Each structure stands twice: as C-alpha cells, then as structure tokens.
Amino acid sequence: MHTKLKNKKIALFGLGEAGSIIAIDMHKAGLNITAYDPKQVVIPEGINRAQTASEAATGADMVIALTAGDDALGALDQAITDIPTSALYADFSTNSASAKLAMADRAAGYGFDFVDVALMTVVPGKSLRTPVTISGTGAVRFEKIFTSLGMPVNRLDADAGEAATRKLLRSVMMKGLAAVIIESMRAGEAAGCSDWLWQNLSDEIAQADQTLIARLVIGTERHARRRLYEMECSAKLLRDLDIKPTMTQATIDSLKLVIDSGLPAIPSQ
C-alpha cells in the first residue's frame, strides 16, 4: 500500500457498482475514503458519507470520480472551488477525448492536477486489479499511488483525452461484438436453435487467438465478394425470421467499403 496515503483524505464521487467496489477495496487497504453520491445509495461499511460534494472535496488530497460519462463534467464542477490546488483529480468516466480535455482545462484553471483514467475491462471481479490506461498532468502521481495498490497502470506521456481515445477505440470492437452476438442470438431463438448457436459462438470465441483474428481481417479483403453475398443471405434470413438485421447490415456496408477501399493498415504478422 502507498503508505503516504494512510493519513490522507480521499474523496470519491459516485457509489454505483464500480465506485462501491473500488471504495471497499481502498478502505480494506487502510485508506480514508469520504464518498458523495446524490442518490440514496447503500454506503459500504467503513466508508464515510458526505452530505454534499463540497464536504467530500474540502481538504481532499485526491478526488476519484467514478460517475457516468454524461455526469462527469458536472461532478467536477459541483465542488471545483473546494478542491485544493495540491489535490489530484482522477476521472474514471468513459467519455470522449474532448470531454476529458474540457475537464483537464477546468482543473488547470483552478490549479490542480487532472488524470484521464480509462478502465480497460469491467471492475466487478477485479476492483483495484482492473487494468487502466491513463494520461494527463496527474498521470505520474496516479501511477505511483495506484500501482502501489496493485492496479495495472499503462501510463501515456500525453494529454488528457489520449487514454479516453484508446478506450473508445477498443469499445468499437468490444461493444460491437456484444451487439453482433445479441443479434445472432435473437435470430437463433427465432429459428429454434439458440442452444446450439450459443455453444457454437462460445466455442469460437474461447478458441480465438491473434492468428485467427489476423486471418479473419486479412482474409476479408481476399474473400470480400464471397462474404458479401453470404451476409446478404444472412440479412435475408433474419428478415424472414422477423429480426431486424442491424449489425448484419452494418457488416454488409463494411464489406462494400473493403471492396471499394481495401483494408486499414494492419500491423505485420
């Protein structure tokens, strides 16, 4: 544990699922956590509840914001005049690079460090072991503190927003994959073979490695016209099953783009 934090005040904004889990783990590490959430949420044992954001932020050595993305700027502004200039403000929200830059500019205007923290996987099951990518003026400070708490930290020597950009680029695939599976399973249910389909998809994903991913991507250009016809057939099947082929149509559009413009740059394999 980071011994210098033992007698420090740490404010935490947001006691949703991720916020509560991280607050509990930090408390177990011997840290003094004062949390604020405007909702009537359950306060984890050992966590001090502040009645206002200003109360939580006043005198804090570090403020950790684990809010929803659209609440992030408001969370910073709600107590910005009460955050000491010596404090570190760590924003964990999933947000756009421009939003993170706006928050960093606000923090700079009030004289305290800001760090853009991008959670790179889900918090449940990992808590302080959740890998993060970070950037911004407070990145070095954040890295020293949280690596001592066991958090895997990938620090970018870059402005706030760069960590967020990497998170969102990853989200295009990760959330897109979830959407594709959901659409496939809706169709599988309608076709009466959802159990088989779930097992088949699970097996394919479980066996995936970098070689398979490279083959899927690189092979798309070589076999784009054949795959285009296959996906047009898939879209027709979904319509016949009364399932809207949203993701399937997106794949069709993507294949047409590959036919017209080729693949993006792919790292050498």
Query: Residue holding tokens 């970098």?
Result: 210
CA 160 to chain centre: 15
What's the pLDDT score for residue 115?
Answer: 98
Decide if pLDDT at 213 tops 60. Answer: yes
Distance (Å, whole) CA 195 – CA 268: 38
Query: How many separate helices (H) and strands (E) can be counted in the chain?
Result: 10, 8
Whether residue 4 has pLDDT greater than 70: no
Mean pLDDT for the stretch of residues 144-164 = 96
Rounded mean pLDDT of the chain? 94
Give buried/exposed letters for 99-109 (b at 16+ CB in 10 A, else e): bbbbbbebbee
pTM score, whole prediction: 0.89
pLDDT in tens, 46-61: 999 999 999 999 999 9
Q: Where are the alpha helices (DSSP H) in 135-161?
A: 139-148
Instruction: Locate 100 and state its tokens.
Output: 């993170």
pLDDT of residue 3: 56
